[in-house]
Amino acid sequence: MKTYIQSVTLYDGRGNKQESINLLFDETGILEIGTADYSSHADRIIDGRSLTALPGLIDLHVHLTMDGTADSMSKTVADSVGVAAYRALVHAEKQIQAGVVTVRNCGSKYNIDIELRKAISEGIVKGPRIFACGQPITMTGGHCHMFGTEVDGVEEVRKAARLKIKEGADFLKLMATGGGLTPGVKAGASQLTEEEMAIACQVANEAGKRTAAHAQGCEGIKNAIRAGVTTIEHGVELDDEAIQLMKEKSTYLVPTLAAPYQIVKNGTAAGIPEFAVRKNEEAMVPHRASFRKAHQENIKIAAGTDAGTPFNLHGDFATELELMKEEGMSVLEVIHAATYMAAEALGIEDKTGSLEVGKWADVVLIDGDPQTDFSAFRRVMHVFKNGENLFSKV
Ligand SMILES: [Zn+2]
């Protein structure tokens, strides 16, 4: 079905903005972008005059099995396979409604994300394109051990990494440090060693896959970068050496500013466990400083929310985008981080992440122009994935 969007403001995801542009696409890809009238080719015409067209948004860090309530971690740990699957499906739909056409799921109990990806690919249910890692790889008693695969030593990590890939993981999630939502674990402390992560990266690379490291403390971050991970998640404490290493290795930063923001903002009064609030309060100031530093130093920053953590809801990508803007990014940079840069981190930038003829028709239409009204990201009107209309606001 050919969709024609007439006279729209268009951000291409690669830093360019055009006004009054016409866009024609179908399930095979983007067919035309320009000023000519393609309406005679169209099966459906959308008047784009008050709208802005963006590439389908990409959230590089979500947890589809976590619901964003005050103690979502305990809930996800207690879930049965069935409930976890239903939860993930509902959250996947919310992502689509927010214009998020592609998500990278950074760890779930069981391998729900892998199974949901299969169900979506088969057309059993509708949802975003999912990059899944299944259960995260963590040290014994490490961050997210309650739903992770616990391993110690290079050989056990090698085995776990191979097993994940056998099970259908698109990438491997590694816990380089402690984290804010695991009781009894120091958030900044190093966990998997450089050698352990290096073997996981090697297994992933050999299988043509990528890696993500949860990394908060400075030493753990550097261990992960040196080990060769693709993305540093959170990156709370980035010192000059870490920044230098990221430049050398072309490592991406996925900041997830919304995660500590929501935990600190809502606090124990809202029912968030005290230990989580305390650890996130400690992390927030260095986290913001590290983001600013990474941005100033031109580190590759790709957007990710950590959706599913307390009050960090699926379908609220806008808060993360607002925080990135608040911490110094321009509107064009924010859009780039949530589209092209994120696609590049996934290795699919030749297919999506920008609005260009020949690419997949992942197209989002929002009401208004974010350069004059950033809250336009909160008014998603139409969402297309591979040219298929998955959501329209009625
Ligand atoms: Zn996470």
The single-letter DSSP state of residue 177 is: B
State yes or no: pLDDT of 394 exceeds 90: no
CATH assignment of the domain containing 328:
3.20.20.140
* Cβ < 5 A residues, ion ligand 1: 106, 306
Residues 227 and 144 in one domain: yes
Q: Which of 56-65, 174-183, 347-356 has the lowest mean pLDDT?
A: 174-183
Residues 121 and 79 in one domain: yes
Give the pLDDT score at 188. 86
Among left, alpha and beta (phi > 0; psi -120 to 50; other), residue 352 is beta
Give the pLDDT score at 183. 73
Mean pLDDT of the chain: 96
Whole domain around residue 90: which residue ranges? Answer: 57-346
Q: Tokens in use for 114?
A: 């892998």
- How far is C-alpha 174 from the chain's CA centre? 15
Residues 246 and 201 in one domain: yes
Assign 387 a pLDDT band (cuts: 50, 70, 90). very high
Residues 118 and 158 in one domain: yes
Give the pLDDT score at 335. 98
Residues 206 and 277 in one domain: yes
Residues 192 and 276 in one domain: yes
Give the pLDDT score at 79. 94
Residues 64 and 44 in one domain: no
Q: Tokens in use for 169?
A: 């993981």
State yes or no: pLDDT of 262 exceeds 90: yes
Question: Considering its fold, how many domains does the chain have in total?
Answer: 2
CA of 95 to the centre of ligand 1 (A): 16
Residues 61 and 51 in one domain: no
- Cα–Cα distance for residue pair 290/287, rounded to 1 Å: 5
Question: Is the separation of the CB atoms in 317 and 305 below 8 Å?
Answer: yes
CA of 121 to the centre of ligand 1 (A): 24
- What's the rounded mean pLDDT across residues 32-59? 97
Question: Is the separation of the CB atoms in 264 and 279 below 8 Å?
Answer: no
Residue where a domain stops, chosen among 325, 346, 367: 346
CA of 36 to the centre of ligand 1 (A): 44
CA of 256 to the centre of ligand 1 (A): 8
Residues 206 and 319 in one domain: yes
pLDDT tens-digit readout, 314-344: 999 999 999 999 999 999 999 999 999 999 9
pLDDT tens-digit readout, 159-191: 999 999 999 999 999 999 998 877 777 778 999
pLDDT tens-digit readout, 78-125: 999 999 999 999 999 999 999 999 999 999 999 999 999 999 999 999
CATH assignment of the domain containing 359:
2.30.40.10
Residues 273 and 308 in one domain: yes
CA of 68 to the centre of ligand 1 (A): 12
CA of 61 to the centre of ligand 1 (A): 6
Residues 11 and 123 in one domain: no
**Among candidates 277, 283, 276, which has minimal Cα distance to 265?**
277
Question: Is the separation of the CB atoms in 306 and 258 below 8 Å?
Answer: yes
pTM for the predicted model, two decimal places: 0.97
pLDDT tens-digit readout, 114-167: 999 999 999 999 999 999 999 999 999 999 999 999 999 999 999 999 999 999
Strands 171-175 and 231-234: unpaired
Q: What whole-number percentage of the chain has pLDDT above 70?
A: 100
Among left, alpha and beta (phi > 0; psi -120 to 50; other), residue 367 is beta
CA of 63 to the centre of ligand 1 (A): 6
Residues 159 and 274 in one domain: yes
- Cα–Cα distance for residue pair 4/37, rounded to 1 Å: 9
- Cα–Cα distance for residue pair 194/64, rounded to 1 Å: 28
CA of 233 to the centre of ligand 1 (A): 8
State yes or no: pLDDT of 289 exceeds 80: yes
